[in-house]
Amino acid sequence: MKSGLWPRMLCLLLLQGVLSADQITMKNGDRVTGAIVKKDAANLTIKTELFGVVTLPWDKVDNVKADTPVNVVLADGKTVKGTIVTDAGKLTVASGDGGDVKAVVEPADVVTLRDDAEQKAFERLLRPGLLQLWTGNALLGFAGTKGNAETQTFTVGAGASRISRKDTTKIYFNAIRASAFANTIASQTAQAVRGGLSYNRNFGKRMFVNTFNDYEYDRFQNLDLRVVLGGGLGFNVWKGDRGKLDVLGGLAWNREKFGPPGPAVPFTRNSTEAYWGDDFAFKLNPRTSLFQNFRMFNNLSNGGEYRLNFDTGANTQLFKWLTWNVSLSSRYLSNPVIGRKNNDFLYTTGFGIAFAR
Protein backbone atom coordinates (compact mmCIF):
# COMPACT_ATOMS: atom_id res chain seq x y z
CA MET A 1 0.00 0.00 0.00
CA LYS A 2 1.33 3.45 -0.91
CA SER A 3 2.53 5.50 2.05
CA GLY A 4 0.35 8.45 1.02
CA LEU A 5 -2.82 6.44 1.62
CA TRP A 6 -2.25 6.13 5.39
CA PRO A 7 -2.83 9.81 6.24
CA ARG A 8 -5.95 9.84 4.06
CA MET A 9 -7.39 6.75 5.76
CA LEU A 10 -6.62 8.17 9.19
CA CYS A 11 -8.38 11.42 8.33
CA LEU A 12 -11.41 9.51 7.03
CA LEU A 13 -11.60 7.45 10.23
CA LEU A 14 -11.36 10.56 12.40
CA LEU A 15 -13.95 12.35 10.28
CA GLN A 16 -16.27 9.35 10.52
CA GLY A 17 -15.93 9.36 14.31
CA VAL A 18 -16.79 13.06 14.48
CA LEU A 19 -19.76 12.72 12.14
CA SER A 20 -21.20 9.77 14.08
CA ALA A 21 -20.90 11.54 17.43
CA ASP A 22 -23.76 13.51 19.01
CA GLN A 23 -23.36 17.25 18.53
CA ILE A 24 -24.73 20.02 20.74
CA THR A 25 -24.69 23.67 19.68
CA MET A 26 -25.30 26.28 22.37
CA LYS A 27 -27.07 29.60 21.83
CA ASN A 28 -23.76 31.44 22.25
CA GLY A 29 -22.21 29.41 19.40
CA ASP A 30 -20.19 26.93 21.49
CA ARG A 31 -20.23 23.32 20.31
CA VAL A 32 -19.88 20.11 22.30
CA THR A 33 -19.32 16.72 20.66
CA GLY A 34 -19.72 13.39 22.41
CA ALA A 35 -22.48 10.97 23.43
CA ILE A 36 -25.72 12.10 25.08
CA VAL A 37 -26.17 10.38 28.43
CA LYS A 38 -29.37 11.99 29.70
CA LYS A 39 -31.45 15.11 29.99
CA ASP A 40 -33.01 15.36 33.43
CA ALA A 41 -34.77 18.36 34.97
CA ALA A 42 -33.00 21.47 33.61
CA ASN A 43 -29.69 19.94 32.49
CA LEU A 44 -28.33 17.92 29.58
CA THR A 45 -25.47 15.50 30.34
CA ILE A 46 -23.08 14.52 27.55
CA LYS A 47 -19.96 12.36 27.73
CA THR A 48 -17.06 13.78 25.72
CA GLU A 49 -13.82 12.11 24.71
CA LEU A 50 -11.46 14.84 25.96
CA PHE A 51 -13.33 16.57 28.80
CA GLY A 52 -15.23 13.70 30.40
CA VAL A 53 -18.83 14.21 31.49
CA VAL A 54 -20.15 17.71 30.75
CA THR A 55 -23.43 19.16 32.07
CA LEU A 56 -25.17 21.82 29.98
CA PRO A 57 -28.24 23.96 30.78
CA TRP A 58 -31.06 22.73 28.53
CA ASP A 59 -32.55 26.20 28.05
CA LYS A 60 -29.20 27.40 26.60
CA VAL A 61 -29.09 24.65 23.95
CA ASP A 62 -29.82 25.84 20.40
CA ASN A 63 -29.40 22.69 18.29
CA VAL A 64 -29.14 18.97 19.02
CA LYS A 65 -28.10 16.21 16.64
CA ALA A 66 -27.91 12.64 17.96
CA ASP A 67 -27.18 9.82 15.50
CA THR A 68 -27.38 7.20 18.26
CA PRO A 69 -31.01 6.48 19.22
CA VAL A 70 -32.03 7.79 22.66
CA ASN A 71 -35.19 7.40 24.74
CA VAL A 72 -37.26 10.59 24.73
CA VAL A 73 -39.95 11.18 27.39
CA LEU A 74 -42.48 13.80 26.31
CA ALA A 75 -44.66 16.11 28.37
CA ASP A 76 -47.73 13.89 27.87
CA GLY A 77 -45.87 10.94 29.44
CA LYS A 78 -45.26 9.13 26.17
CA THR A 79 -41.79 7.64 25.53
CA VAL A 80 -40.35 7.33 22.01
CA LYS A 81 -36.95 6.09 20.93
CA GLY A 82 -34.95 7.28 17.95
CA THR A 83 -32.36 9.67 16.59
CA ILE A 84 -33.01 13.35 17.30
CA VAL A 85 -32.26 16.55 15.44
CA THR A 86 -33.31 20.19 15.87
CA ASP A 87 -34.91 21.77 12.83
CA ALA A 88 -36.53 25.22 12.71
CA GLY A 89 -36.60 25.39 16.49
CA LYS A 90 -38.35 22.03 16.94
CA LEU A 91 -36.99 18.66 18.00
CA THR A 92 -37.61 15.78 15.58
CA VAL A 93 -37.42 12.17 16.74
CA ALA A 94 -37.06 9.59 13.95
CA SER A 95 -36.36 5.87 13.68
CA GLY A 96 -32.70 4.86 13.89
CA ASP A 97 -32.29 4.44 10.15
CA GLY A 98 -33.51 7.98 9.47
CA GLY A 99 -36.89 6.72 8.37
CA ASP A 100 -40.28 7.33 9.98
CA VAL A 101 -40.72 10.46 12.08
CA LYS A 102 -42.00 9.49 15.54
CA ALA A 103 -42.48 12.93 17.07
CA VAL A 104 -41.93 16.64 16.40
CA VAL A 105 -42.06 18.70 19.60
CA GLU A 106 -40.88 21.92 21.18
CA PRO A 107 -37.62 21.50 23.15
CA ALA A 108 -39.47 22.63 26.29
CA ASP A 109 -41.82 19.64 25.92
CA VAL A 110 -38.94 17.17 26.29
CA VAL A 111 -39.06 15.99 29.90
CA THR A 112 -36.21 13.48 29.80
CA LEU A 113 -33.60 12.03 27.45
CA ARG A 114 -31.87 8.76 28.32
CA ASP A 115 -29.32 6.59 26.55
CA ASP A 116 -29.80 2.82 26.73
CA ALA A 117 -27.76 2.46 29.93
CA GLU A 118 -29.73 5.19 31.71
CA GLN A 119 -33.01 3.73 30.46
CA LYS A 120 -32.09 0.29 31.75
CA ALA A 121 -31.22 1.76 35.16
CA PHE A 122 -34.50 3.69 35.21
CA GLU A 123 -36.59 0.61 34.38
CA ARG A 124 -34.77 -1.36 37.06
CA LEU A 125 -36.02 1.15 39.63
CA LEU A 126 -39.67 0.82 38.60
CA ARG A 127 -40.38 -2.63 40.04
CA PRO A 128 -37.31 -3.83 41.92
CA GLY A 129 -37.28 -7.02 43.96
CA LEU A 130 -36.73 -6.88 47.71
CA LEU A 131 -33.16 -8.13 47.35
CA GLN A 132 -32.29 -5.79 44.46
CA LEU A 133 -30.77 -2.28 44.45
CA TRP A 134 -28.71 -2.85 47.59
CA THR A 135 -25.34 -1.06 47.77
CA GLY A 136 -22.93 -0.77 50.67
CA ASN A 137 -19.56 -1.61 52.15
CA ALA A 138 -18.06 -3.49 55.09
CA LEU A 139 -14.97 -2.48 57.06
CA LEU A 140 -12.84 -4.69 59.30
CA GLY A 141 -9.89 -3.15 61.15
CA PHE A 142 -7.28 -4.39 63.63
CA ALA A 143 -4.33 -2.61 65.26
CA GLY A 144 -1.97 -3.58 68.05
CA THR A 145 1.38 -3.11 69.78
CA LYS A 146 3.68 -5.52 71.61
CA GLY A 147 6.63 -4.67 73.85
CA ASN A 148 6.58 -2.56 77.01
CA ALA A 149 2.84 -2.35 76.51
CA GLU A 150 0.49 -4.61 74.64
CA THR A 151 -2.60 -3.11 73.02
CA GLN A 152 -5.23 -4.46 70.70
CA THR A 153 -7.97 -2.54 68.89
CA PHE A 154 -10.64 -4.20 66.81
CA THR A 155 -13.20 -2.28 64.73
CA VAL A 156 -16.08 -3.35 62.52
CA GLY A 157 -18.23 -1.13 60.36
CA ALA A 158 -20.92 -1.94 57.83
CA GLY A 159 -23.60 -0.03 56.00
CA ALA A 160 -26.08 -0.82 53.25
CA SER A 161 -28.83 1.11 51.51
CA ARG A 162 -31.60 0.32 49.06
CA ILE A 163 -32.94 3.35 47.18
CA SER A 164 -35.88 3.01 44.80
CA ARG A 165 -38.27 5.52 43.27
CA LYS A 166 -40.73 5.00 46.12
CA ASP A 167 -38.67 4.36 49.24
CA THR A 168 -35.26 4.22 50.92
CA THR A 169 -34.04 1.56 53.34
CA LYS A 170 -30.77 1.85 55.29
CA ILE A 171 -28.96 -0.49 57.69
CA TYR A 172 -25.83 0.33 59.70
CA PHE A 173 -23.57 -1.35 62.26
CA ASN A 174 -20.44 -0.09 64.05
CA ALA A 175 -18.42 -1.69 66.84
CA ILE A 176 -15.11 -1.12 68.62
CA ARG A 177 -13.29 -3.18 71.21
CA ALA A 178 -9.94 -2.11 72.64
CA SER A 179 -7.76 -3.57 75.41
CA ALA A 180 -4.38 -2.78 76.95
CA PHE A 181 -1.83 -4.75 79.03
CA ALA A 182 0.84 -2.74 80.87
CA ASN A 183 2.79 -3.34 84.07
CA THR A 184 1.12 -6.75 84.48
CA ILE A 185 -2.31 -5.08 84.53
CA ALA A 186 -4.83 -5.92 81.83
CA SER A 187 -7.87 -3.77 81.16
CA GLN A 188 -10.42 -2.98 78.50
CA THR A 189 -10.26 0.61 77.32
CA ALA A 190 -13.24 0.75 74.93
CA GLN A 191 -16.20 -1.41 74.07
CA ALA A 192 -19.20 -0.08 72.17
CA VAL A 193 -21.70 -1.34 69.62
CA ARG A 194 -24.12 0.78 67.57
CA GLY A 195 -26.60 -0.38 64.95
CA GLY A 196 -29.99 0.18 63.48
CA LEU A 197 -32.17 0.58 60.45
CA SER A 198 -34.36 3.27 58.89
CA TYR A 199 -37.10 3.30 56.29
CA ASN A 200 -38.42 6.31 54.33
CA ARG A 201 -41.53 6.19 52.16
CA ASN A 202 -41.96 8.95 49.60
CA PHE A 203 -45.21 10.79 48.98
CA GLY A 204 -45.34 13.82 46.71
CA LYS A 205 -42.20 15.18 45.09
CA ARG A 206 -40.33 16.20 48.25
CA MET A 207 -42.11 14.79 51.30
CA PHE A 208 -41.54 11.40 52.91
CA VAL A 209 -42.48 9.40 56.00
CA ASN A 210 -39.49 8.56 58.20
CA THR A 211 -39.27 5.55 60.57
CA PHE A 212 -36.25 4.10 62.38
CA ASN A 213 -35.12 1.62 65.03
CA ASP A 214 -31.73 2.11 66.76
CA TYR A 215 -29.79 -0.06 69.23
CA GLU A 216 -26.73 0.89 71.30
CA TYR A 217 -24.42 -0.66 73.87
CA ASP A 218 -21.58 1.22 75.60
CA ARG A 219 -19.78 -0.50 78.44
CA PHE A 220 -17.91 2.59 79.64
CA GLN A 221 -21.10 4.63 79.81
CA ASN A 222 -22.65 1.74 81.79
CA LEU A 223 -25.24 1.44 79.02
CA ASP A 224 -26.33 -2.18 78.76
CA LEU A 225 -28.84 -1.45 76.00
CA ARG A 226 -30.62 1.51 74.47
CA VAL A 227 -33.57 0.79 72.16
CA VAL A 228 -35.17 3.65 70.23
CA LEU A 229 -38.27 3.47 68.01
CA GLY A 230 -39.32 6.57 66.11
CA GLY A 231 -41.30 7.99 63.24
CA GLY A 232 -42.12 11.31 61.64
CA LEU A 233 -42.00 13.34 58.44
CA GLY A 234 -39.14 14.50 56.22
CA PHE A 235 -38.64 17.08 53.50
CA ASN A 236 -36.12 17.04 50.65
CA VAL A 237 -34.52 20.50 50.65
CA TRP A 238 -32.07 19.84 47.81
CA LYS A 239 -31.42 17.00 45.40
CA GLY A 240 -29.00 16.95 42.48
CA ASP A 241 -26.68 14.70 40.53
CA ARG A 242 -23.99 15.08 43.21
CA GLY A 243 -26.03 14.67 46.37
CA LYS A 244 -29.01 15.66 48.48
CA LEU A 245 -30.09 17.30 51.75
CA ASP A 246 -33.09 16.11 53.79
CA VAL A 247 -34.52 17.59 57.00
CA LEU A 248 -36.80 15.53 59.23
CA GLY A 249 -38.50 15.39 62.62
CA GLY A 250 -41.01 13.45 64.67
CA LEU A 251 -41.52 11.49 67.91
CA ALA A 252 -39.56 8.60 69.42
CA TRP A 253 -39.73 6.18 72.33
CA ASN A 254 -36.46 5.55 74.18
CA ARG A 255 -35.74 2.72 76.64
CA GLU A 256 -32.34 2.80 78.39
CA LYS A 257 -31.00 0.10 80.70
CA PHE A 258 -27.94 0.94 82.82
CA GLY A 259 -25.91 -1.50 84.88
CA PRO A 260 -22.69 -2.00 86.87
CA PRO A 261 -19.91 -1.14 87.44
CA GLY A 262 -21.42 2.36 87.60
CA PRO A 263 -24.52 2.71 89.77
CA ALA A 264 -24.88 0.57 92.86
CA VAL A 265 -28.21 -0.74 91.60
CA PRO A 266 -28.99 -1.24 87.88
CA PHE A 267 -31.89 0.85 86.64
CA THR A 268 -34.02 1.37 83.53
CA ARG A 269 -35.62 4.57 82.32
CA ASN A 270 -38.20 5.12 79.59
CA SER A 271 -38.97 8.41 77.89
CA THR A 272 -40.85 10.00 75.03
CA GLU A 273 -38.71 12.21 72.81
CA ALA A 274 -39.15 14.75 70.03
CA TYR A 275 -36.44 14.41 67.41
CA TRP A 276 -35.25 16.60 64.54
CA GLY A 277 -32.19 16.65 62.29
CA ASP A 278 -30.82 16.29 58.79
CA ASP A 279 -29.25 13.80 56.36
CA PHE A 280 -26.66 15.17 53.92
CA ALA A 281 -24.73 13.38 51.16
CA PHE A 282 -22.41 14.91 48.58
CA LYS A 283 -20.25 13.42 45.84
CA LEU A 284 -17.00 15.35 45.99
CA ASN A 285 -15.66 13.74 42.82
CA PRO A 286 -16.31 10.50 40.88
CA ARG A 287 -14.46 8.49 43.55
CA THR A 288 -15.05 10.27 46.88
CA SER A 289 -18.38 10.76 48.66
CA LEU A 290 -19.08 12.65 51.90
CA PHE A 291 -21.94 12.07 54.35
CA GLN A 292 -23.27 13.74 57.47
CA ASN A 293 -26.21 12.83 59.73
CA PHE A 294 -27.48 14.78 62.74
CA ARG A 295 -30.25 13.99 65.25
CA MET A 296 -31.37 15.96 68.30
CA PHE A 297 -33.62 14.11 70.77
CA ASN A 298 -35.41 16.39 73.25
CA ASN A 299 -36.82 14.50 76.24
CA LEU A 300 -40.56 15.21 76.60
CA SER A 301 -40.94 13.05 79.73
CA ASN A 302 -38.24 14.95 81.65
CA GLY A 303 -37.93 18.51 80.38
CA GLY A 304 -34.43 19.90 79.87
CA GLU A 305 -32.80 16.53 79.18
CA TYR A 306 -31.69 15.55 75.68
CA ARG A 307 -29.52 13.31 73.52
CA LEU A 308 -27.50 14.24 70.44
CA ASN A 309 -26.27 11.92 67.65
CA PHE A 310 -23.79 13.14 65.04
CA ASP A 311 -22.14 11.04 62.32
CA THR A 312 -19.90 12.13 59.48
CA GLY A 313 -17.30 10.60 57.18
CA ALA A 314 -16.03 9.96 53.69
CA ASN A 315 -15.72 6.97 51.34
CA THR A 316 -13.14 6.84 48.55
CA GLN A 317 -13.40 4.17 45.87
CA LEU A 318 -9.90 2.82 45.14
CA PHE A 319 -11.10 0.00 42.91
CA LYS A 320 -14.54 -1.23 41.92
CA TRP A 321 -14.72 -3.44 45.02
CA LEU A 322 -12.23 -1.73 47.39
CA THR A 323 -12.84 1.51 49.31
CA TRP A 324 -11.02 3.59 51.89
CA ASN A 325 -13.34 4.81 54.66
CA VAL A 326 -13.05 7.30 57.50
CA SER A 327 -15.88 8.07 59.92
CA LEU A 328 -16.59 9.92 63.17
CA SER A 329 -19.55 9.06 65.38
CA SER A 330 -20.50 11.11 68.45
CA ARG A 331 -23.15 10.34 71.09
CA TYR A 332 -23.95 13.03 73.70
CA LEU A 333 -26.15 12.37 76.73
CA SER A 334 -27.15 15.28 78.99
CA ASN A 335 -27.89 13.01 81.98
CA PRO A 336 -25.30 10.18 82.05
CA VAL A 337 -24.67 7.83 84.95
CA ILE A 338 -22.96 9.61 87.85
CA GLY A 339 -19.20 9.68 87.32
CA ARG A 340 -19.40 9.22 83.53
CA LYS A 341 -18.74 11.80 80.82
CA ASN A 342 -21.52 13.19 78.66
CA ASN A 343 -19.93 12.49 75.29
CA ASP A 344 -18.46 9.40 73.61
CA PHE A 345 -16.64 9.47 70.26
CA LEU A 346 -16.12 6.50 67.97
CA TYR A 347 -13.80 7.11 65.03
CA THR A 348 -12.64 4.52 62.52
CA THR A 349 -10.61 4.38 59.34
CA GLY A 350 -9.50 1.57 57.08
CA PHE A 351 -10.18 -0.33 53.91
CA GLY A 352 -13.55 -1.77 53.08
CA ILE A 353 -15.19 -4.07 50.56
CA ALA A 354 -17.94 -2.51 48.47
CA PHE A 355 -20.87 -4.47 47.09
CA ALA A 356 -23.88 -3.78 44.91
CA ARG A 357 -26.87 -5.82 43.79
Instruction: Note the pLDDT tens digit of each residue in 267-309.
Output: 999 999 999 999 999 999 989 999 999 999 999 999 999 999 9
Among residues 88, 123, 158, the one where a domain terminates is 123
Residue 220 and residue 270 share a domain:
yes
Is residue 11 situated within a structural domain?
no
pLDDT score, position 99? 64
Mean pLDDT lowest among 165-169, 194-198, 294-298: 165-169
Find the angle CA(228)-CA(300)-CA(273) to the nearest 5 degrees. Answer: 20
Cis peptide before 261 (omega within 30 of 0): yes
Three-class SS of residue 104?
strand
Among residues 81, 101, 123, the one where a domain terminates is 123
- Evaluated on CA atoms 341, 345, 346, 350, the torsion sign reads negative
Asked whether 324 and 352 are in contact (CB, 8 A), the reply is yes
Among residues 123, 158, 182, the one where a domain terminates is 123
- Sequence length of the chain is 357
- Single out the residue of 189, 186, 193 nearest to residue 155, CA to CA: 193
Give the residue numbers spanning the domain of 116.
21-123
- For residues 134 and 222, give the distance between their C-alpha atoms in angstroms, rounded to a whole number: 35
- For residues 173 and 214, give the distance between their C-alpha atoms in angstroms, rounded to a whole number: 10
Provide the number of structural domains found in the chain: 2
Is residue 96 situated within a structural domain?
yes
Is residue 129 situated within a structural domain?
no
Is residue 260 situated within a structural domain?
yes
pLDDT at 17 over 70: no
Is residue 13 situated within a structural domain?
no
- For residues 50 and 32, give the distance between their C-alpha atoms in angstroms, rounded to a whole number: 11
pTM: 0.74
